Amino acid sequence: MENPRQDTKARIVDNAVQMFSAKNYERVTMRDIAAAVGIKAASLYSHFKSKDDILTGVYELFEETAAGIRPSPAALIAMAETAPPKQAVGSAFFYFRPTDHEKMLRILNIAYMMSGSDRRSREFFQRHVFDAPRLYAGNILRKLVSLGRIEPLDIENFLVLQTYFCFGAILRSFTPGVSVREEWESGLNALLELIRSTEQEH
Partner DNA sequence: GTCTATACTTAGATAGAC
Partner DNA sequence: GTCTATCTAAGTATAGAC
Q: Decide: helix, strand or coil at residue 197.
A: strand
Q: In whole angstroms, how close is the CB of 84 to DNA at the nearest point? A: 48
Shortest distance (Å) from residue 97 CB to a second copy: 14
> Does 140 interact with a second copy (rule: CB under 8 A)?
no
**Of residues 10, 132, 145, 161, which one binds a second copy by CB under 8 A?**
161
Residues 51-70 interacting with a second copy (rule: CB under 8 A): none
Nearest to 102 by CA among 191, 11, 188, 22: 22
Cα 40 from chain centre: 31
Report what 52 binds from a second copy, DNA, none; CB cut-off 5-8 Å by kind.
DNA
User: What Rg do the C-alpha atoms of the chain give, in angstroms?
Assistant: 19
- Residue 59, SS3 per DSSP: helix
Contact call for residues 87 and 155 (beta carbons, < 8 A): no
Instruction: Note whether 30 and 41 are within 8 A (CB).
Output: yes
39 touches DNA (CB under 7 A): yes
Considering only 78-86, 97-105, 143-151, 159-167, which stretch makes contact with a second copy by CB under 8 A?
Answer: 159-167
Position among 63, 190, 197, 198 found at the interface with a second copy (CB under 8 A):
190
Among 13, 16, 17, 34, binds DNA (CB under 7 A): 34
Residue 122 CA to residue 83 CA, distance in Å, equals 34
